[in-house]
Structure 1
Amino acid sequence: MISNQPLEQRQMVANIALITAAAGFAIQPTLVSHFPAYSAWMPHVKMAFEAALVGGLADWFAVTAIFRRPLNLPIPHTAIIPNNQDRIAATIGVFVQSNFLTDEAIRRSCSKQNIAGSVASWLEKEANASQLAHEIGIIAPRILQFFRHHAVESFVQRNVVEWVRASSPNTMTAQMLQAIFNNGNHQQAFQFVLEQTDDWLKHNPDKASDLLNPVIDTLIGPILSRVRASISNEAQGVVSLIVGGIATFAKPETRKAADQLRANLTSALNVEQKIIDGLINLTHEIRNDPNHIFRIKLDEVAKHYIGVLSVDSPESRRLNAFKDQMINNPDVVKFFSSIVISIREAIQKDLNSVKPAILISVRDALMMLGRNLAQDEQFQKDLNQGITDALCFITSAYSDAIIDFIGHQVRSWDSEKMVREVEKAIGADLQMIRLNGTLVGGLIGLVLSFLQ
């Protein structure tokens, strides 16, 4: 807000000068009678006061006419600003468009500044990153609190459900697969996952068994139970007895074959471990073989589903039907809603704690971003170019809307308020014009008087 003090002070000085000129002109005849010795000078004094009064009044009228009607008289071409508010609005819009919203102006301004570098320098300072994280910590709980209202929660849930119901998962899945498998980068990501998985399996075989056993039992447990039930404990005992007898009395080669038979029997009954060992070995093989058949089949399957899911096919219809079943099941919707609510409440609880872990992570991430950005000059140039291009696009695409917005705002201002704000901005200098008009007018009058 612009202060009124300079305006009021300078207005008072200009008024004092005008009053002085008027008073001097009024008392000039009295001065002649009281100071007859200076009567020769009095015509010059009189003309100086006359000219000062004329100049002061003329400038007072001109300055006042800019903002309002002098003495509230309906004089033409006065109250310039309030009477031309619409034209001023249009002029401001054109001025902004011509001087600020052109590609040349934007690129010239952006070229003088390293926006990305400034942001990087600001972010890498811990105090700044902490302050920004703190501001996020103030805003985020309020946003989360807003979404805790039952009406808002229900509205969002209804709209999300309707969006999912109206969407086509086959098309989105095909597009996602196309994006993933198009450039071949999925093999690098797949290789990374294989390396991490293979290393973990190698160093944690017991944990792998504990993790995979329930899955295998769920998939083929009933089948294994029936196989094992068909081989009774008695049958296993007889086999063990026969194998043991052979091992006792037979030749070494026969004993070796009998031991192998018994080991194979035990191994045959431990199918789960066989499957687990097979999965571990398969993972290792795929990791070390860039041309493994599994990799080739993975690409073939992806290409197949990209094709069939992009059109109306049995696979697309089955996927869409599955989506409809899920979205029309209240329990499924409730389950996913509960997940979102749980995540939201966990975030809310952390943000309300004494030392929110989320905000500490945000602060560290911001500082790391600032450091990395500060060290990468090429990326700074690319980012600055991207910002410049984005600004040019926005101003080019929406310049008319921006101009209309500015014009609408100016036209909607209250005339008196607009006049007061403009007068606060430039009125102090205009009062000095009034003062100069009074003083210069008096000086000119004095000079002309002497020339006569």
Structure 2
Amino acid sequence: MMRTLQTQEMEKLQQLNRIKVLATLVLVACFCAMVIAKALEHHYPPFAIIAAFAEAATIGGIADWYAVVALFKKPLNLPFPHTAIIPNNQHRIAENLGGFIDSNFLARGPVSEKLNEIDFAGEMSNWLSSRERSHGLSKFVARLIPQLLNSVDEKGLVQFATNRVSGQLAKTDISPLIGKLMQTFTKDGRHLKLMDDLISALHTFLNDEETLELVRTKVKRELPVLFNVVGGDTLVVRRIVRIATELLDEVREQEDHPLRGEFEAFLTSYVKRVRRTKRFSKQIENLKQVVLGRPELEDAADHMWHGLKEYILADVQADDSVLVERLTDMLVEVGVNLKQEPALRNDINTGMVLVISNVVEDQRGNIAAYVSEQVKSWDMQQLLTLIEANVGRDLQFIRFNGMIIGGCVGLVLFALETVLLSS
């Protein structure tokens, strides 16, 4: 980049040198024409017109040469006042340039107006909609995850979070929440499903051979010996099991069975009653404190964190990372959906303009000071060469214009002189 820039500047300097030589040759030609015309005007009066033009053009050319040179250095290295204007005013130019940029380029009005022309949300949407770009961003985020997880371990954030959650739970009365959950459970009809599950469990239990044997043993102990001799215990048990099984089948098959109504009424009444009693709140509070006081809770949180960490680390290092793919899908979806949400896009653009404008507003003084310090630190000779290379060619045309205008003025003055003398 520097080599290209130097080549471009060298070409401009060569063009500048050529135009300087041309302007000097024209000035010399004007001077020679003036000398020749002055010498011949006594013998050939028309040469007086040429002499007047050439004399004025020479004066104008020299004056403009002086003006152009005085910007960059002292003409002929003579100590003329108010020359070498740029080198002698480097610090003042730097300060004024910094203030000019601060007032005209970094003010909130111009910055906000320019930023409002940019569709930040549109650019974001187009960028994220490209799966290739979103995948690249996802991979970049994935590379940061191991460092983030290690930082969490090093800073003890897991222990801190566990203590904070436990402390907050210890201060919070969760009995209303438990009561609300119980109420929601009965309100949504989930208790009826619970009853069906209980019926199925009882049905399976009563028809299990080991259960029957256990019940028969219990009944045998309670019946008289005579009944046991004639096998009454077995008869009684089978009768009880058959009646109970039939009852359970009826309840399971009939949605309007009275037993279902009794169960629902009992459970609903129980939930309402329990929620209103202080005993329930005290029991929940005691249970909560017991659970929070168990050391296994802290160990469980630690084990969960390490298990999650190992899974994430193994996944992000894999070529077919699920996390990267899901993050890519999410970013692409965000980009696509953003195109269809004009209100959201407007909010994003407004927010971006506000944030960037505030940043520029806060830093405008520092930016202006930075520009000023940079200008002050420039090597003046290099700066002059750079300025001459870029605007010197146009400045040399001032010399041409000066000679032309000066010559024309000389002709006007010669004409006025002739008219006045003839009158």
TM-score relative to the length of structure 1: 0.54
2:324 is aligned with what amino acid? L
1:57 aligns with 2:42: no
Shift of 1:34: 11
1:347 aligns with 2:312: yes
**Alpha-carbon distance between aligned partners in 1 of 2:229 and 2:333, rounded to the nearest angstrom:** 68
In structure 2, what is the equivalent of residue 143 of structure 1? 145
**Alpha-carbon distance between aligned partners in 2 of 1:137 and 1:364, rounded to the nearest angstrom:** 12
Mapped contact 1:134–1:359 kept (Cα < 8 A): no
1:363 aligns with 2:328: yes
1:325 aligns with 2:293: yes
Report the number of matched residues: 364
Mark the CA change 1:47 to 1:134 in structure 2 (over 3 Å): closer, same or farther: same
Mark the CA change 1:356 to 1:433 in structure 2 (over 3 Å): closer, same or farther: same
**Alpha-carbon distance between aligned partners in 2 of 1:341 and 1:121, rounded to the nearest angstrom:** 38
In structure 1, what is the equivalent of residue 345 of structure 2? 384
1:404 is aligned with what amino acid? D
**Alpha-carbon distance between aligned partners in 1 of 2:215 and 2:398, rounded to the nearest angstrom:** 123
Mapped contact 1:82–1:415 kept (Cα < 8 A): yes
2:108 is aligned with what amino acid? Q
Shift of 1:99: 2.5
Mapped contact 2:170–2:288 kept (Cα < 8 A): yes
Shift of 1:349: 1.3
Q: Larger C-alpha radius of gyration, 1 or 2?
A: 2
For 1:78-89, list aligned pairs within 5 A.
78-84=90-96, 87=99
2:220 is aligned with what amino acid? A
In structure 2, what is the equivalent of residue 65 of structure 1? none
User: Please, which runs of 5 or more residues in structure 1 have no aligned partner?
Assistant: 62-68, 218-224, 247-257, 269-273, 308-312
Q: CA RMSD in A?
A: 6.3
Mapped contact 2:216–2:234 kept (Cα < 8 A): no
Mapped contact 2:166–2:292 kept (Cα < 8 A): yes
Shift of 1:382: 2.8
Shift of 1:439: 0.5
Mark the CA change 1:262 to 1:317 in structure 2 (over 3 Å): closer, same or farther: closer
In structure 2, what is the equivalent of residue 100 of structure 1? 111
Mark the CA change 1:333 to 1:242 in structure 2 (over 3 Å): closer, same or farther: closer
Q: Deviations over 1:236-264 (max 9, x none)?
A: 99599438779xxxxxxxxxxx9753424
Percent of matched pairs sharing the same residue: 10
In structure 1, what is the equivalent of residue 414 of structure 2? none
In structure 1, what is the equivalent of residue 134 of structure 2? 132
Mapped contact 1:17–1:438 kept (Cα < 8 A): yes
In structure 2, what is the equivalent of residue 153 of structure 1? 154
In structure 2, what is the equivalent of residue 232 of structure 1? 217
In structure 2, what is the equivalent of residue 242 of structure 1? 232
**Alpha-carbon distance between aligned partners in 1 of 2:170 and 2:25, rounded to the nearest angstrom:** 90
Mapped contact 2:108–2:361 kept (Cα < 8 A): yes
In structure 1, what is the equivalent of residue 406 of structure 2? 448
Mark the CA change 1:11 to 1:316 in structure 2 (over 3 Å): closer, same or farther: farther
Q: Deviations over 1:87-117 (max 9, x none)?
A: 457536x83322334xx887x547xx4936x
The one of 227, 240, 243 equivalent to 1:261 is 240
Mapped contact 2:125–2:338 kept (Cα < 8 A): yes
The one of 366, 381, 391 equivalent to 1:408 is 366
Mark the CA change 1:303 to 1:71 in structure 2 (over 3 Å): closer, same or farther: farther
**Alpha-carbon distance between aligned partners in 1 of 2:316 and 2:121, rounded to the nearest angstrom:** 31
**Alpha-carbon distance between aligned partners in 2 of 1:96 and 1:298, rounded to the nearest angstrom:** 70
